[in-house]
Amino acid sequence: MQSNKKIFVGKYKQSESKMYNIADVTCCGFDADTVFIGTKSGLLYEKDCNFVTFEAVKGTVNSLFAAKDATLWCASESTVFAIREKQIVFTHTFASEARAFAQDEKRLWILTADELFRFENGEVVRHCRVEMGNGMYMTAFGDGNVFVYNGQSLLGLHGKRPRWGGVVPALSDMPTDQITALCGDSWGHLFVGTQDGLVLYDGQSAWYTGKQIKDLPDYPVTALAIGADGARYIGTTDGLILQRGVRRSFYSKGRWLPSNHVTAVAVHPTKDEIWVGTDAGVAQITFTEMTLAEKAEHFQRFAEKYHIREDYCSYRRLSEPCNIDSGRVEISDNDGLWTGSFLAAMACKYAVTKDEHTLEVARKAMRALLKLFNITGISGFPARAYRRPGEDRFGNGDPEWHLTEDENGPLEWKGETSSDETTGHFFGLAYYYDLCADADEKKDISATVCACVDHILKNGYTLCDTDGLPTTWAHWGPHELNRVDFWRWERGCNSMELLCMLRTAYHMSGEDKYINEYRRLIKEEHYAINCMQHKMEDAHENHIDDNLGFLTAATLLRYEDDAHLRSLLLCGLTHHWQYERIERCPLFSMIFGHYADGECCDLDKAVQSLKDLPMDFINRPIVNSHRKELVWDDGPLAFGGRVQLAEPLPYDEGPATNFDGNPFFADGENGMFCNMPTIFLLPYWYGRWCGLLAED
């Protein structure tokens, strides 16, 4: 069992995808560093991040092949072209259609529909006829070991004089004669794509399918490539499967590919990069050496450029699908929660780096949170958000929005504030208070926190709005939590939230009234016992309280030093993490690991999740539900949810989701919003701050 000892994280491969709208892609290949795309209407090549026509090649391109000398061979109808540095250096026209190329240790082979040729000393030399004609796919290795598929059988070249040996299911263990792709390695192992999946053949008599070797996928194969590092790139009708070392990845439509139907795969000869053709366009997938620290700086820039509005951090509403440069930062119901989470991330980062820019970003977020309390005119009552004239829906008559003014003019603030907001405020402000604040800032934060707690106690353990009524979700009193069934789901989490708020107010002010009420609730209303299992098991259908529970525990356990109370609180944290453990959520593991006293917190999985998180959190229209290997769970139906995955996908394969979102969904949405980079920044910097992560 892996413990939560500090992990030193080195470089890893970060994958990204860029897609191009190219129709009718048949093949891909490289002329040195330039990628060429074959289509049914000609040949294209990449120039300055766009594709232009290679005028010399007309008609359908059947095959592109990068030879060992960096020459790109192109088969277009009955003519082959040798291309070097975007110039044609050789051409030859055959009597029948040119279909494929292969290269063994000594020579290049050219396959036409009827015949096999060698390219030697700058000339094309006929080798032999293809038995029964209709040569379709070819691979070669060693010295003259050539295999060809002719639509009916797998032909192997052998003998002193060129002779074909045919392999068919009726006379061998060959599982099918419906071959769709061929690729061999240097040891003579043939990876054979079929309509029933990938098959492995030793070139003699042994055949293996997914029944014998689980690593052989059973999707209909459409394209194959093997990298110099032994990685296998398997194109299918349902996406691209990458098998490299111990890593198995599935790249599907939305984040990675224009379509799930792959038509071509090409591996860059010198860079860690592949190009994938599909029936809806081409994807360039790159694998870049990166550290988590470099990724954190990427997301820092990303947050400041795309997700900050008046110093509030929120998700971005896009006006064009998947275009992060379009749209605007959303004025959300949870500006306080999201900004509080961002503030905590920046506070932890400052504690680690002492970077002055980080401190200024954190200071602005802190002041933005305090402003939400100051604009309502109700002592201790925070607004959810505010908007100004000209911003979306300003002045639309919604009764929860209230007109006021600040130093910059009129604005509307939103009430109906929830427990989510107070959790975010107390979480972010507490970390800033302890790790960043100067003496004056501590006074301001303490005054705001205490005013909020005073408001809650004064109004029967609720947030009370402008109409004199408690808001819908901000209820923390023992009458509801302990004695009303309607609040049973919130009993544990809301009990812990109120204890956290009282303990935080006492920590900042030292006033006995807060610690006395804290103790009374524990002794007379069993609030600490309520916290011992604050997570209500719900078949992983609802995740809002997961986020709130971990944020609250992360603050309360920092301030509570009584061993007996800590043991009760740790019961609740342990139960919650064990239940959510299957999600491999980096934030939840970092928080649990901080207090786990050396016990396992799946830190290795948390680090892998940080690596897997994509370079943006756009809710792309990802499609995974078609995948055969996925296991489904109908448990959420009992809680009003829908059928979902039994285990979440890796973070680079599933849809983008925040910590309060559902990672058990297989498919994404419409690409019209982008979640906050706090998804990465908070667990990363929290892990660095509490000593679970270190970088060389």
Tens-digit pLDDT profile for residues 189-199: 999 999 999 99
Q: What tokens does 371 get?
A: 């402003």
* C-beta atoms surrounding 523 within 10 Å: 10
Domain with CATH 2.130.10.10 in the chain: 7-290
Phi first, then psi: what are they for 563, rounded to 5°? Answer: -60, -40
Query: What is the pLDDT, as a whole number, of residue 160?
Result: 79
CB neighbours of residue 122 within 10 Å: 8
pTM value > 0.85: yes
- 345-358 pLDDT, tens per residue? 999 999 999 999 99
Smallest Cα–Cα separation from 341: which of 674, 688, 659? 659
Q: How far apart are CA 373 and CA 449, in angstroms?
A: 10
**Cα–Cα distance, 642 to 59 (Å, whole number):** 49
Distance CA 300, CA 366 (A): 17
Instruction: Name the strand (E) or helix (H) holding 208.
Output: strand 207-208
Sign, CA dihedral 595-600-601-606, equals positive
Helix (H/G/I), strand (E/B), else coil: 94 = coil
pLDDT at 479: 97
Going across the sheet that includes 207-208, the strands are 179-184, 190-194, 197-201, 207-208
Give dist(CA 52, CA 549) in Å, integer. 54
Span 490-501, average pLDDT: 98
* Cα–Cα distance, 570 to 89 (Å, whole number): 72
Instruction: Please state, in angstroms and as integers, the Cα–Cα distance from residue 530 to each residue in 130, 256, 427, 499, 533, following that order.
Output: 78, 45, 20, 11, 7
C-alpha span between 334 and 439 (Å, rounded)? 29
Contact between 168 and 152 (Cβ < 8 Å): yes
Structure confidence by residue, pLDDT tens digits, 47-103:
998 999 999 999 999 999 999 999 999 999 999 999 999 999 999 999 999 999 999
Residues constituting the chain:
696
pLDDT band of 4, cuts 50, 70, 90: low
What gap in Å lies between CA 486 and CA 479, rounded to an integer?
11
Q: What per-residue confidence (pLDDT) applies to 3?
A: 46
Mean pLDDT of the chain: 96
For 7-290, give the CATH class. mainly beta
CA distance 280 to 261: 8
Residue 384 banded pLDDT, cuts 50, 70, 90? very high
Average pLDDT over residues 113-121: 95
**pLDDT, tens digit (0-9, with 9 covering 90-100), for 273-321:** 999 999 999 999 999 999 999 999 999 999 999 999 999 999 999 999 9
* 424: its two tokens: 């975010």
Residue type, 413: W
Please give the average per-residue pLDDT across 461-480, as a whole number. 97
